Amino acid sequence: MLTAGIDVGSVATKVVLLRDHEIYHLVRPTGWSPRDAGLNTFQELLQQTGYQESEVVCKVGTGYGRISLDFIDKAVTEIHCHARGANYLVNGGGLVIDIGGQDSKAILMNDEGKVLDFTMNDKCAAGTGRFLQVMAAALGVDVSQLAELAKDQQPLEINSMCTVFAESEVISLLAKGSNKQEIIAGIHRSVTRRVWGMASRFGAAKQIIFTGGVAKNLDVRNRLAKEAGAPVIAPELGQFAGALGAALYARDLASKELS
């Protein structure tokens, strides 16, 4: 049975085609039209994989743009899809921490991956990928270089949580001649603290499944493990957790209709 999950985020649109244990995936920028982004990315992935649209028995949409998708069978909230996908990638439940380009969220699951509670931030750029982008620009480095530069460095103190005030602090530190790599370590600690400050309300975590663009940053990953005192696993397909969860819901839905 072939099903699809379409996750239209504010920055990127992720699509998963799921057949048994086979996961096909594609990510494209969302751009101005969430509906077009969803449809085009879905069709591009069909083309890449050689499947026909008629072979897809059920399509579930998720993410902030799901309401604009008029070609799907059902829309499911991103929290539920994200947890479902994360628990498929890394079994055993625990805490999902997702740090995306413009938001961050924490989802508490039981051992079976059922959502028990969640919290999210999409109002404040601090503790999101945007914070890292602003700081990287201030430091004149690329976001992709941050992890390597901060590795094993002693973090300098960044006092402000606010992206705007922290940027000024970073510029001051540079002007004072502080070590750039230690500044970056401080920036990573700031993101980690902010996100863990939000997630730690759920208490100690058995394991953390770390997803979203920032999960690719190995230094943030290590600092998060230290801050949380728990193992942090960043699955390869973490970015597709929401789309994968949607495709799994689509499979449930189709199975029910067939039975």
- Specify the residue, 177 or 203, whose C-beta has the smaller distance to a copy of itself: 177
Phi–psi pair at 158, nearest 5 degrees: -115, 115
- For residues 86 and 209, the answer to whether their CB atoms sit within 8 Å is yes
Mark residues 74-113: x for contact with a copy of itself by CB under 8 A, - for none: ----------------------------x-----------
* Bridge-based pairing state of the strands 22-29 and 12-19: antiparallel
Mark residues 14-43: x for contact with ligand SF4 by CB under 6 A, - for none: ------------------------------
* Bridge-based pairing state of the strands 56-62 and 104-109: unpaired
130 binds a copy of itself (CB under 8 A): yes
- For residues 118 and 106, the answer to whether their CB atoms sit within 8 Å is yes
124 binds a copy of itself (CB under 8 A): yes
Q: 7: closest CA among 41, 50, 33, 31?
A: 41
* Bridge-based pairing state of the strands 232-233 and 208-211: parallel
200 binds a copy of itself (CB under 8 A): no
- Specify the residue, 93 or 212, whose C-beta has the smaller distance to a copy of itself: 212
Among 160, 179, 207, 222, binds a copy of itself (CB under 8 A): 160
**Sheet with strand 2-8: strands edge to edge:** 22-29, 12-19, 2-8, 56-62, 74-75
Measured distance CA(195)–CA(23) in Å, rounded: 29
Q: Segment near a copy of itself (CB under 8 A), from 161-169, 189-197, 226-234, 241-249? A: 161-169
- Specify the residue, 49 or 102, whose C-beta has the smaller distance to a copy of itself: 102
Instruction: For the chain, give the number of residues.
Output: 259
Measured distance CA(203)–CA(199) in Å, rounded: 8
230 binds a copy of itself (CB under 8 A): no
Among 41, 62, 163, 239, binds ligand SF4 (CB under 6 A): 163
> H helices of 23-128, where?
34-49, 78-89
Q: Segment near a copy of itself (CB under 8 A), from 91-99, 162-170, 180-188, 237-245? A: 162-170
Locus of tokens 């990510």: 27
Please give the radius of gyration of the chain, using alpha carbons only, rounded to the nearest integer. Answer: 19
123 binds a copy of itself (CB under 8 A): yes
178 binds a copy of itself (CB under 8 A): no
Q: What six digits make up the tokens of 81?
A: 């899809």
Q: Segment near a copy of itself (CB under 8 A), from 43-51, 62-70, 110-118, 163-171? A: 163-171
Mark residues 94-133: x for contact with ligand SF4 by CB under 6 A, - for none: ------------------------------xxx-------
- Specify the residue, 161 or 174, whose C-beta has the smaller distance to ligand SF4: 161
Residues that bind ligand SF4 (CB under 6 A): 124-126, 162-164
Residues that bind a copy of itself (CB under 8 A): 102, 123-125, 130, 134, 160-165
